[in-house]
Amino acid sequence: MPIACGTSYDSIMHLVDIRIYPVKSSAGWSLPEATVEPWGLAGDRRWAVIDEAGDTFWLGEYPRLASVRAQNQSDDGLLLSAAGLPDLKVPPAAGRPVPVGFTGLDQAILADDDAHMWFTSLLGRPARLVWLDDPRRHTIDPAHGGLPGDVVSFAGDAPLLLTSAASLRVLDEQIGGDTPLDMARFRPSVVIDGAEPYAEDAWSEVTIGEVRFRVSELCDRCAATTIDPLTLVKGKEPIRTLARHRSWNGKTWFGVRLVPRDQGRLRLGDPVTI
């Protein structure tokens, strides 16, 4: 497994983007600052879209999910918008608990019927919107680096995903296309710059501002990254190039998953140290 060491770059690494995704697999919002909670960034992936069996819709199969702009509301509801559909204000979830197919979580709370119909129209098959009322009920799978007491939102394998702008620049050079890839393809929570490319592979802990994180594992990448976040068209990149340069154990890799050690506030420009 290739490892790059970037410890000498500690003094100049900094936070350049913070993103939340109010609904799992929806479009992300870049923020100037965000609160770190034990299960992830405040407002991030407390909602998810599930099928009749309780399993989540995978973005790689349903790219229209990435067209959804979901805005958290002050009353814990949502405002949903997507091309071809009317905007919908979703009240706070108050339905019954239903079984869900997330590892480490048994059930979630149904949203109202209008929300189910909205996502059914979007995806072309029966869908339901659910709310994770208490993320402390959702434990992180030990197979993905979860330790006792680690919890997560609907983000899944870890509360946050960190990617590096320097790593993406190298990947773009390897692809050799005319247009650089949008980091949104990788759906990061935080983006840093100033480290050597892929230095993050070797990190076990990282501090952003005053908030400490444990690196739980490297992030393996799937076909969802091949969807252009603007056009929703699937291509071959970046998986094709990652398979040539960043492939081991039968997977391709980009970014690292983080578990918070502290609660606190992240702000753009925060220093990053390891």
Q: What pLDDT shows up at residue 7?
A: 40
The pLDDT value given to residue 192: 98
Q: What is the pLDDT of residue 219?
A: 98
User: Would you kindly state where each structural domain of the chain is located, as residue ranges?
Assistant: 7-273
Q: What pLDDT score does 1 carry?
A: 44
Residue 211 in tokens: 């908030």
The residue among 115, 91, 114, 110 whose CA lies nearest residue 99 is 110
Predicted pLDDT at 3 = 38
pLDDT computed for residue 98 by the predictor: 98
Single pTM value for the model: 0.94
pLDDT at 156: 85
Q: What angle do CA 256, 192, 19 make, to 5 degrees?
A: 80
Instruction: Report the C-alpha gap between 267 and 265 in whole angstroms.
Output: 7
| Gap between the Cα atoms of 187 and 23, Å rounded | 12
Q: Assign domain 7-273 to its CATH superfamily.
A: PK beta-barrel domain-like (2.40.33.20)
Left, alpha or beta for 197 (phi > 0: left; psi -120 to 50: alpha)? beta
Q: List average pLDDT for each run of 10 residues in the chain, which is 274 residues long.
A: 41 92 98 98 98 96 97 97 97 97 96 98 98 97 96 96 98 94 98 97 97 98 96 96 97 98 97 96
